[in-house]
Chain A
Amino acid sequence: MPDDLGSGTLLRWVAAIDRADRAGWPLVMLIAADPADPLDGLAMAAWCAASTTHIRLCASIDGDTVEPFTLARGLATLDHLSGGRAAWRLTGSDATGRVTELADVVSRLLLSWGAEALIENVAAAMLSDAEAVMPIAHDGAHFSLRGPLNIPRPPQGVPLRLALPGDPAQAGAVIVEPDGARKMSIGLVSELFA
């Protein structure tokens, strides 16, 4: 039931995700099934990251509109703040190849800081090693951008990227068990972890 702030549905999801985390489920994929009531997956995942410890949080991203630099910043932030529990999934038609190019550019941005780039040399006032942070200089059909990202390499490097099994329009959430994915409506998720 929506509460007086109009936040009820979202908070019901959140409660289910918290329970899934405590029950040891490895991953939740957040999908807005109702186009009239959309949600931002990265914001939801970040809200849940602050209250969970193990579950991986997968955000669905509209691959037809997002800019690679914006998406890379969002994913890097989520992966850092969650201690390496970010996951992502791109939606979109990819008829023009935009989604494929997007995934490639985002991955390169996420890796544009070397794993050893943070040197934290207080005496020399050098936080990071200039040799270990490199522009990506991408020039493609849909994007041309320099980089590098302005966030150091996330714990996973490129966070886990998933393809959705089945039709996203049918699903409220996908909870992944160790041996496979289970797709269910938000009602079922709430029931399962009640």
Chain B
Amino acid sequence: MALGLFVLGHGHNVGAWRSSPSPAADLLGLDYYRTLAQEAERGGLDMVFFAEILYSYELAGRHQGAMAFPTLDPMVLIPALSRLTEHIGFVGTYSTTYTDPRATALKLATIDRLNGGRTGWNIVTTGADQSAANFSRRDLPEREARYARAAEFVAEVGSLWDRWPATPQGRPVRVQAGMSPFGKAFAADVAEVMFTVARDRDTAIAFRRELRDLVRGAGRDPDGVRVMPGIAPILGGTEAEAREKEARYLELLHPAIQLAMLGDQFGMDFSGYALDAPLPMDDISQSPRVLSGMRDPDKLIDASCGVPTLGDYLRSQARVRAHHSFVGTPEQLADQLCDWHSAGACDGFNLMFPVQAEGVPAFVDQVVPILRRRGRVRSGYEAKSLRGHLGLPAATGNA
């Protein structure tokens, strides 16, 4: 079972920074990330993953101070963390829409040479339209055009790697996360690791089966692709303890933070609306991201319950985005991970702890030993490279 740690700020609970005594120093210094990476390595995880965000959260030209500023440059953070670890792999996101193929090839090759083959590249086409304004582009290119460029980009990066001195893995591991039809077709051609969103086991089984068929259809071996759904575990010694922790985490989500998040999603300021009134659907339907086709307002409403109040909607969204969440004991989590893995729902998991400083050591101390006893994960590192940790075949000339 492959295991990755998805590090996002203080955690995937957007209010997680409020649980730290020194949030800004954590997010901007090396120590906080070093501790997480070294803990993940202590647990024998395959990799640590960093996303990339290319815009500042704001509304109508005004910065949103409630939301923690997100990611540092993964291609700078990863080499620094590689120096402070020995085995664990690192996957960083870099956009094919807003970077130059030569510069990206060079960054990945340099990092892979420095860390001895522990590098992966999450290939994204950058779906956020706010990013376009920071790259001298008036509009976000259409999804189809972005994926066409991504395919050319990956091919060009590959041909540059062929020209330069060999890197330890031949090719850094290629990761993909888009689940649109274009994303899946692209993944079928290039992905070796696929990060997915899966709400339940049956959806995950169906997705993995479909993706494996697409990979086979593209002339590749489906066993050369690791499908890794995100999961957001909250652990407690007993179920009651885990539920208490969940309640404590929900308290971190101050309404100011949730309104800022909702505002970021729709490009509209929600701070003036009453929390106990129904969602302002008329105004939402005129918001910039609905008019541009990026957001569907109907998804806010559960057909069986009607329009919720703004406050109820925010409470329902307080868990980790759309990803599968888990609240329970270490034994129960291990059972669930093994069940999904045995059922063909996945090849592993991308761990998205709501509060990383608490979740990562708990997982390493309490869940990893169970998975090791059951023979689902290695008891230590056997390979040198990320490709080796994941059991992926040696890189070919294909991109």
Contacts and interface: CB of A to CB of B under 8 A. Distances in A.
Contacts of A115: none
Nearest to B256: A125
A70 B98 contact: yes
Interface string B70-102: 111101111111111000000000000011101
A37 B114 contact: no
Contact of A148 (B63, B75, B81, B166): B63
Interface stretch (B15-23, B203-211, B388-396): B15-23
B67 A43 contact: no
A189 to B, nearest CB: 17
A128 B23 contact: no
B116 A65 contact: no
A81 B80 contact: yes
Interface string B124-139: 0000000001111000
Interface string B101-116: 0110011011101111
B28 A80 contact: yes
A73 interface: yes
B104 to A, nearest CB: 9
A47 B80 contact: yes
Interface in A131-182: 132-135, 142-152
Interface of A: 2, 5-7, 9-11, 14, 36-40, 42-44, 46-51, 62, 65-67, 69-70, 73-74, 76-78, 80-81, 83, 118-120, 122, 124-130, 132-135, 142-152
B135 A145 contact: yes
Contacts of B81: 50
A7 B164 contact: no
B66 to A, nearest CB: 5
B136 A148 contact: no
Closest 6 CB pairs of A and B: A125-B254, A133-B63, A50-B83, A40-B110, A77-B76, A77-B73
B30 interface: yes
Interface stretch (B52-60, B192-200, B292-300): B52-60
A11 B114 CA distance: 7
Nearest to A125: B254
B29 interface: yes
Interface of B: 15, 17-18, 22-24, 28-30, 53-58, 61-73, 75-84, 98-100, 102-103, 106-107, 109-111, 113-117, 133-136, 163-168, 254, 256-257
A89 to B, nearest CB: 16
Contacts of A80: 28-29, 72
Contacts of A36: 163-165
Chain A CB within 10 Å — which of B69, B71, B135 has the most? B69
Given A7-B116, A69-B134, A126-B65, A38 B76 contact: no
Contact of A149 (B56, B64, B111): B56
B110 A10 contact: yes
B103 A152 contact: no
A142 B15 CA distance: 38
Nearest to A44: B110
18 contacts: A5-B116, A7-B116, A40-B106, A42-B107, A65-B100, A65-B103, A66-B100, A73-B54, A73-B73, A77-B72, A77-B76, A77-B77, A120-B22, A125-B66, A128-B63, A130-B64, A149-B56, A150-B53
B111 A43 contact: yes
B76 A65 contact: no
A74 B73 contact: yes
Nearest to A47: B79
B69 A150 contact: yes
Nearest to B74: A77
B83 A125 contact: no
Nearest to B18: A122
A88 to B, nearest CB: 12
Contact of A81 (B56, B72, B254): B72
> Which of A65, A76, A81 has the most chain B CB atoms inside 10 A of its CB?
A81
A47 B83 contact: yes
B101 to A, nearest CB: 10
Nearest to B62: A130
A11 B113 CA distance: 9
A10 B114 contact: yes
A119 to B, nearest CB: 7
- Residue among A11, A67, A119, A132 having the largest count of chain B Cβ atoms under 10 Å: A67
